[in-house]
């Protein structure tokens, strides 16, 4: 335990954040969350260790404030994804928090997840790291800003699914991310 971790969590708890996710946590077992579990319900997916001496890859922690628990239905739907359904006053949105490692062996899992979204009529927000590189491509007619110009196979599939579902990509298109980090 170091002071930087404690400071981060103390600052985080002051923010009154309703729903959060930490991705690529690289944790095995129950991670130290320094007070978060007292205010938040969490779903935690461990990282996956691919080789003996490597640190774990991936890992997801999703949490929501206990005060909004009546409006939240959250489940781990795969080894890569947590689904959070948030319903209040007739409105419903589904949040998917995902991490798909960049290994080519994980491409089929990522594509299967994306294809499962193709015919949905729900309001959906995708969050996470799909390791799907889309360069400067966007889902609309205009391109988006991005420092990465590479498009990979997953990126092509992701764009196809997002365009079919009329999704918008926020990275490189919204305030504070005009340069596309």
pLDDT at 181: 57
**Averaged pLDDT for residues 121-149:** 84
Q: Nearest-CA neighbor of 6 among 26, 30, 29, 35?
A: 35
Question: Whole-angstrom Cα distance, residue 146 to residue 107?
Answer: 23
pLDDT at 93: 95
Is 71 or 176 the better-scoring residue by pLDDT? 71
**pLDDT at residue 1 greater than cutoff 50:** no
113 near 81, Cβ under 8 Å? yes
Confidence band, pLDDT 50/70/90 cuts, at residue 134: confident
**Averaged pLDDT for residues 150-174:** 84
pLDDT at 19: 95
**Averaged pLDDT for residues 131-136:** 87
**pLDDT at residue 90 greater than cutoff 50:** yes
Question: Whole-angstrom Cα distance, residue 47 to residue 24?
Answer: 7
Q: Which fold has domain 3-131?
A: Deoxyribonuclease I; Chain A (3.60.10)
Domain residue spans of the chain: 3-131
**DSSP secondary structure letters along 26-75:** ---SS---TTHHHHEEEEEE--B--STTSPPB--EEEEEEGGGGGGEEEE
pLDDT at 42: 96
Phi–psi pair at 155, nearest 5 degrees: -60, -40
**Averaged pLDDT for residues 160-180:** 77
**pLDDT at residue 41 greater than cutoff 90:** yes
């Amino acid at each position: 335990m170091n002071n930087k971790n404690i400071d981060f969590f103390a600052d985080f708890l002051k923010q009154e954040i309703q729903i959060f996710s930490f991705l690529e946590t690289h944790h095995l077992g129950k991670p130290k969350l320094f007070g978060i579990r007292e205010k938040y319900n969490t779903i935690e997916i461990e990282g996956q260790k691919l080789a003996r001496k490597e640190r774990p890859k991936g890992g997801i922690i999703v949490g929501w404030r206990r005060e909004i628990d009546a409006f939240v239905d959250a489940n781990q739907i795969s080894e890569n994804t947590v689904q959070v359904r948030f319903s209040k006053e007739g409105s419903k949105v589904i949040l998917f928090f995902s991490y798909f490692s960049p290994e080519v062996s994980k491409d089929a899992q990522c594509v299967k997840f994306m294809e499962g979204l193709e015919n949905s009529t729900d309001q959906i927000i995708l969050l996470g790291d799909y390791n799907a590189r889309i360069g400067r491509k966007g889902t609309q007619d205009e391109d988006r800003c991005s420092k990465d110009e590479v498009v990979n196979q997953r990126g092509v599939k992701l764009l196809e699914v997002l365009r079919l579902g009329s999704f918008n990509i926020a990275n490189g298109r919204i305030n504070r991310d005009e340069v596309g980090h």
